[in-house]
Each structure stands twice: as structure tokens, then as C-alpha cells.
Structure 1
């Protein structure tokens, strides 16, 4: 453990965070983090810097880059790396890993889950610093010890690490990855699909056969049609954009399962949002365009609001299928960057990227 020249008189921490949600969360706790450190060490300075760090062929962070970044500051005692990359160790998601020789720690933000509160992130920050810098009161480490799990102390050449909970770790990590994917960012890249889906779904407002078909289908069958439409579009987006990750070798650090699950969930949320938006638009249009008396004549029985709902639901399903299967995306590369696996490829050395991970 490396101790600053006078730990009791102050400590300086540099937080290097991935762009996006990691940086937002790091900055949200920076002030409180500085206060907690000041309470323990007498004085503290926290720098938060957005930095997209590379990884080596050995799946480790490029510490040469980190050392260069430290030189931009007068004095840095600890470097905390907050990344969106998930990692596995001993069959579980790895929340944090300590590198004493570099006075650094790497923290995986997705392992904190979807609603990674400030208190949880702050506790993890503090716990890492207390393992890298001496000078704090003896009881401080226990105070900030994570309640959800215990640190594994360094053994030989293996640094200390903190693993996620055995039961909740994987689902929490996958959902956290979905949050860092920011599904709402995908909408602008699906404008062509949305236009095609809206054009196809509009036919349901004017074609009487769709009115009759929706009335003949049971609610459960209509629900199944909606689920099928969403599934088809998600599959199309994954296959047409090459978003499914394949492992080329077995390695305990590989997290392809996490990547693929988060990709499927992210795109499912996007397509579900598209479906519901179409449903609302078509429902509003049908209420305006279709006269109830005219629909009653066509259907041969009294109609009510549920008939309009059925028409909108079936039409939206047809629109989603048409928009997903019949549309190509002009910004394929940008769409790929919205998934974890593709963003990690950007961190790797050039030959590794061409080899495909």
C-alpha cells in the first residue's frame, strides 16, 4: 500500500470515468466524496476527469496512459477508474479490483445495478481509497466496508478484489449494463424504421379487414401478436447489425453472456417504446377518423372503445414488423456503438479489433 507524503494532512484522488452515465454519477458524488475524505485525512481534493481508457491484449487496463494522465496534476495519491466494462472473476461479476503498485483501483459501474445510488457509489469509492492510503482511523475501513459482500484480500500476485453477490450479482450487472447503454439514445437511429412502421400501421385505420380481424382475435392472441412483432424486430436489429457477440476462447474474464443479455434487453426496451408510441398514435387517429356508427355497420354489432384499442394494437404490430424487417439503417456503425461489446472493442489494440471479439 502506497502512502502519500503526509496522509493525515490530505489526500488527492483522481477519478477517471467513462463518458456518459459513469461521468454523471462520479460528478454527482464528488463533493460528498471530498467531504468524507477530508473528515478522515484532514484535507482532500477530488478531480473527476472523463477518460475512455484502453485495455491491453491481457484484458488489463493500460496503466501507461493512466500514469501519463496523473502528470497533469500536481499530486495524485490514488486513481479510481470508474468504467462501464463488466468483468467476471471466480464465476461472479467483479465490482472492484485494487492495484497497489499503481495506487489505483478499477470499479465496474454496471455491477451497482440500474438504480446505483450515490451512497452505494460513494461507499465503494471510500472503500477503495482506504485500501490504498494509510493514515485514516482504524475503524474507518470497517465503517465503509460494503454490506453486500466482502473484499478478498491480496494473495501472492493476485490483487485484492470485490465480487458481487452470488444470487443478485448477474441480474444486477446486466440491468446496470442496460442503463449504461441508455436505450433512449437509440431512438434517433431508428427514424427510418419509425417512418416505415407508421406508414404500414396507418393502413389499420382505413382497412375494414383489419377492423374485423382485430375484433375476431381474443385478447390473449392479440398480446401474443404484439410480443411476436417485438421479438422479430429485435432479432432483425441484432442480426442485421451484427450485434451478437461470440466468444472465441474460454476465459474466466469473458462476459459475452452479459453483453448479449444487455443488448437484447436494451433493444427490447427500444422496440417496446416504438410499439407503444405507434399504438398511441394509431389509437388517436382511429378515434378521429373512424365513425362509431360506420364501424357498427361494418362489424354487424355494437362497438365501443375496446374495438378502437384492438385495431390500434394489431395495426401497431403490423407496423413494427414492417418497419423492422423492411428497413435498413444508414447509421449502422453508430447503432453498434450503443452496445457494450462493441464499445469494448474500441478499447482494444487495433489488431484485436480486426480479429473480432
Structure 2
């Protein structure tokens, strides 16, 4: 089933002066979900138009089961993302008849701001007041997809809506286009990344954490590493640290195929935002891991490496700066170990760690 765009009541005037539009796809599973979507389309368009009249809201309803049950939530998001790119939408809200869970907790709905996809479980709406709850939840989901962190800043949310609706002009492709997307959609991008909670990235990668800790412990108690840290100097320590961060970021992005390619002109901005948000999420997550490893290595060096033994290994008196250099090199080597561990993670585990699903966004 497909429907003509809903909520596209453009104001009068010459066509060239029409405001930009935001295309939202409502993807509904056959049956009860499709019935709810048909009722929801006009209500959602009116609610969004009332809250954000500065853009035209184009609601499009399609009937598509997307996945064959049983299916994980990540599969639904991935399938909805595929449909979003194929249909050239800006956002997608998927209505499913399957139960949803985030971190093993049952939820009524969740949103993935980086993907631009939200999922709503129709059975969780209940039998009484279903239309009202569906509308409230859907409006909350759209705001979550825009990177709304719940701080209640209407002006910031309006700016994100305008950024989403405006396509960069003047550059066709490549680095120039990506730079235009970055500078022209900075608030939207920051909201997406913040909603994605990148500092939690590595906590979901058990193999990467295990390998990082093991490599750090080995480096911390090895006399050769002590001498290398002492002789490397600032430039080499910086190069090793940067290389370790780049290594684990590349392993995560390339290994788990987190990078998207634009299939048409219309979705270039959508794909560019996704890739920028993905890279920013991974980089911030890895830098958080690196900082944590550095603090742990420094504490471990001060507590577990006696100054006399350390001085004997270095061949001179051990000062606080020597402990800092040892912690620096140790954290870099531990991050390299984390990159090796990340290579053993499944693609599903990496995607689950990289992309946060915000539960109950409509409440």
C-alpha cells in the first residue's frame, strides 16, 4: 500500500519561494500497524506543521513488513534504513507488530538518530486511546531523530529542522560537498552524535576491551617498554598515540562496514550526515577509551611499579614525568590491542555498540 504525500499544504506564492520540505516515511507492517499508520499520517503531519511551520512536512505511508519475524530490533532499523535511502526520505518511522527491546528491556518505541529511523511497536500502544498514544509517541520519535536531547530548547530544535530541510548547494560531490554538509548542518550533526552517546561505544565491545586491558598490563610490567617510553620523546609518543587511535577507528568503521555510499543525488546529504555522525561517534568513543586507559595506566604505574625498580630499569632517577611517559605509551599499546580485539567482534556487535537506540522516545 502507498499513499499520496500528506501534510504538503504549501503556502501560496511562486513555486520558487516555497519553504524547504522534510520527507517522513511511515513504514507499516500489514494488518493492525497499517491501520494505525493510515490514521496517524494526517494527525502527525498536522502536529509537526503546528510545531514547526517553517518547513513543509511531507508524510508518505507505505505498507511493508520489512523483516521476517522473529527479528532483532537492529534488523528492523537496518531494513527501514534501506527503504529510507531507496525512497529518498529524510526520516522514517516504522510501525511494527513485533515487540521491541533495548538492553533487554521491553519498550514501546525507540529511535536511532544517526540512521534517521524510529521504530514503534503497535501492540505496546494498547487497545484504548491507541490513536492518541500513537501520535504522542510519533511526535516524540521525530524529535529524537532530530537529536533532541530533552533539554527543552525549542529554538535549537527549530534550527535542526531547518537544517534537515535545506540541501547544500553549489558543490556536486566529494570533499567539498561533505564540508558543506558539515558546516551547514553542524547543530543537527551535534544533536545526532550527542543522542548517540558515543562515550558508551567501547563498553559494548567485550573483545576489544579485554584485548586492550591485556595489552596494557603486559606493557606496564615490561622493562623494555619502560626504556622505550623514556627514549621515545614527545614526537614519537604522539605519533604512536595517534596511530593507535586511527587503527581502532578504521577497524571499527571499515571492518563492520559502517560507511555508506550515496545511491542518488537526493540522498547525498542523508548519507553524508550518517557518515559524519558515525565517524564522530567512533572517534569520540575511542578517545574516551584512550583517556580511560591512560588514567588506569598512570594509576597502575604509580601503584605497581616501585620507583627503585623503575629507576634501575631506566638507568636514572625516576620522576613523575617518567611515569606519565610510561602511561602514555602503555595506553597507546593497549589501544592497539583494542584494535586487534575489535577485529574479532561481529559486525552486529560493533553496530549495536556504535548506534544507540533511545527507548521510549515518545513518552
Bucket of the pairwise TM-score, normalised by the shorter protein: 0.5 to 0.7
CA contact (8 A) 1:210 1:311 kept: yes
Please, what TM-score do these two structures have when normalized by structure 1?
0.55
CA contact (8 A) 2:208 2:339 kept: yes
Decide which of 283, 288, 310 is 2:298's aligned counterpart. 283
Instruction: Select the structure that is richer in helix.
Output: 2
CA contact (8 A) 1:189 1:329 kept: no
Q: Distance in 2 between matches of 1:75 and 1:335?
A: 33
Please, what TM-score do these two structures have when normalized by structure 2?
0.54
How many angstroms does 1:325 deviate by?
2.4
Question: 1:337–1:169: structure 2 CA closer, same or farther, 3 Å change rule?
Answer: farther
Residue 244 of structure 2 corresponds to which residue in structure 1?
A: 229
Q: Please show how residues 178-189 of structure 1 align to structure 2 within 5 Å.
A: 178-189=193-204
Residue 248 of structure 1 corresponds to which residue in structure 2?
A: 263
Q: Distance in 1 between matches of 2:186 and 2:162?
A: 20
Asked if residue 308 in structure 1 is aligned to residue 323 in structure 2, the reply is yes
Q: Distance in 2 between matches of 1:172 and 1:63?
A: 22
Residue 87 of structure 2 corresponds to which residue in structure 1?
A: 58
Residue 197 of structure 1 corresponds to which residue in structure 2?
A: 212
User: Which secondary structure state, in structure 1, belongs to the residue aligned with residue 288 of structure 2?
Assistant: helix
Question: 1:196–1:292: structure 2 CA closer, same or farther, 3 Å change rule?
Answer: same
Residue 282 of structure 2 corresponds to which residue in structure 1?
A: 267
When the two structures are aligned, how many residues end up with a matched partner? 244
Q: Please show how residues 39-188 of structure 1 align to structure 2 within 5 Å.
A: 57-60=86-89, 72-73=130-131, 81-83=139-141, 108-110=145-147, 117-120=151-154, 163=166, 169-188=184-203
Q: Distance in 2 between matches of 1:238 and 1:75?
A: 37
RMSD: 4.5
- Stretches of structure 1 that go unaligned for 5 or more consecutive residues are 3-16, 18-32, 38-50, 85-105, 125-145, 153-160, 344-357
Which whole-Å deviations, capped at 9, do the CAs of 1:43-80 have from their partners, x for residues lacking one?
A: xxxxxxxx9895664234779969x9898236999996
CA contact (8 A) 2:247 2:336 kept: yes
Asked if residue 294 in structure 1 is aligned to residue 309 in structure 2, the reply is yes
CA contact (8 A) 1:174 1:258 kept: yes
- Stretches of structure 2 that go unaligned for 5 or more consecutive residues are 1-6, 9-25, 27-46, 52-75, 96-119, 169-179, 358-363
CA contact (8 A) 1:189 1:331 kept: no
CA contact (8 A) 2:260 2:275 kept: yes
Q: Distance in 2 between matches of 1:320 and 1:292?
A: 25
Which whole-Å deviations, capped at 9, do the CAs of 1:217-261 have from their partners, x for residues lacking one?
A: 222331222111111100011111111111233325642121111
How many angstroms does 1:173 deviate by?
2.1
